[in-house]
Chain A
Amino acid sequence: MNKKRDRLEIIHSILKTIQDKREAKPTHILYKSNLSHQMLTEYLTELIQGNFVQELQDKGKKSYKLTDKGYNYLKDYDTIKSFLESYGL
């Protein structure tokens, strides 16, 4: 696997965690995605900027939920993964 794919898998893991919880707290995402705090912050910033994830604030506590673009990415990811697996790429 190359670095690009690893990155894709990390993004998938973050988005999937958020999707499973509907609204996920950073500690839960951190635990599920097995990333350092700094790495997670970088990825989340990127995902928010890319409009895949929306940040919510409730009484000073942050949580994240998927946008439509985030849901579409997860849907495409499964198809892409399936295609890559079928050709062993």
Chain B
Amino acid sequence: MYACISPPWFFKYDILFGFLFTLACFLIAGFSYNVYTKIKQKNVLCLSVGFLFMGFAYLSQALINTYFFLNLGKGLCANFQLQHITFLSSLSLTLHLIFMLIGLSFLTYTTLKSREPKILYILLGASVISLLLSRDLFHTFFILSALYFALITWHFVDNYLKNRQPKTLLTALAFFVLTLGWIEFIFINYSPFFYVLGRVLELGAFLLILWNYALVRKR
């Protein structure tokens, strides 16, 4: 998917960004899991699972984009049949889409006050049904993800307003910027510029998440 959406000049940066986002997600997932093993709080486990799946989403995208990038120099069309390329693009999209929606469903569930497992199933089910009923899979996926990010951001902004500290501000800002980034992705059909802008915003957001992680660990 992104092999086609990302402008050629941006492609290698895109791959680097993908690996950085993967690293950031795995770092938070690992640390959350470590916290969970100490305090056995279920919402911490959900946060860990959410970031883990988001990490898988970015990793699958980055790996397949890397595969394309390494073979582009050798002449993609000469080496691969069109069918093969289409298969890899579809695989990349499908994995990215599934992992991201699972991750976002878990993160949204984490931010809700209710701990009813039914709500998590509803979130996952609603995501699947929306995609199945959609005519434009990409578009629906971006809208749905932006919606999830907006809900998560609402929780973090509320958390900041209740507890005004640099770390709560950083988390709220990071998810606000992520939401903006994913709103940009909704418009990628109009111009690849929106894709680049979205990815740059994502980069800013993950740097804020990493900054917050460093602040927490520094204590």
Residue of A nearest to B35 (CB): A80
**What is the minimal beta-carbon distance from B59 to any residue of chain A, in angstroms?**
22
Contacts of B216 in A (CB 8 A): 79, 82-83, 86
- Whether A61 sits at the interface, judged by CB under 8 Å, is no
Task: Report 22 cross-chain contacts, Cβ distance below 8 Å, ordered by A residue.
Answer: A4-B39, A4-B41, A5-B41, A79-B216, A79-B217, A80-B38, A82-B215, A82-B216, A83-B31, A83-B32, A84-B41, A85-B167, A85-B168, A86-B212, A86-B216, A87-B110, A87-B156, A88-B155, A88-B171, A89-B41, A89-B43, A89-B110
Q: Give Cα A79–Cα B39 distance, bound, in whole angstroms.
A: 12
Q: Give Cα A3–Cα B132 distance, bound, in whole angstroms.
A: 41
User: Using a Cβ–Cβ cut-off of 8 Å, how many residues does chain A contribute to the interface with B?
Assistant: 16
Q: Interface digits, A1-38 against B, CB 8 Å rule (1 contact, 0 not)? A: 01011001000000000000000000000000000000
Q: Interface digits, B31-61 against A, CB 8 Å rule (1 contact, 0 not)? A: 1100100111101100100000000000000
Residues of chain B touching chain A, judged by Cβ–Cβ distance below 8 Å, are 31-32, 35, 38-41, 43-44, 47, 110-111, 155-156, 158-159, 162-163, 165, 167-168, 170-171, 212, 215-217, 219
Residues of chain A touching chain B, judged by Cβ–Cβ distance below 8 Å, are 2, 4-5, 8, 76, 78-80, 82-89
Count, A-B residue pairs, CB within 8 A: 57
Contacts of A4 in B (CB 8 A): 39-41
Contacts of A87 in B (CB 8 A): 47, 110, 156, 159, 171
**What is the minimal beta-carbon distance from A82 to any residue of chain B, in angstroms?**
5
Determine whether the beta carbon of B167 is less than 8 Å from that of A76. Answer: no
In this complex, the member of A76, A80, A83 whose beta carbon has the largest number of chain B beta carbons within 10 angstroms is: A83
Contacts of B39 in A (CB 8 A): 4-5, 8, 80
Q: Give Cα A86–Cα B208 distance, bound, in whole angstroms.
A: 12
Contacts of B32 in A (CB 8 A): 83
Determine whether the beta carbon of A88 is less than 8 Å from that of B158. Answer: yes
In this complex, the member of A2, A8, A80, A88 whose beta carbon has the largest number of chain B beta carbons within 10 angstroms is: A88
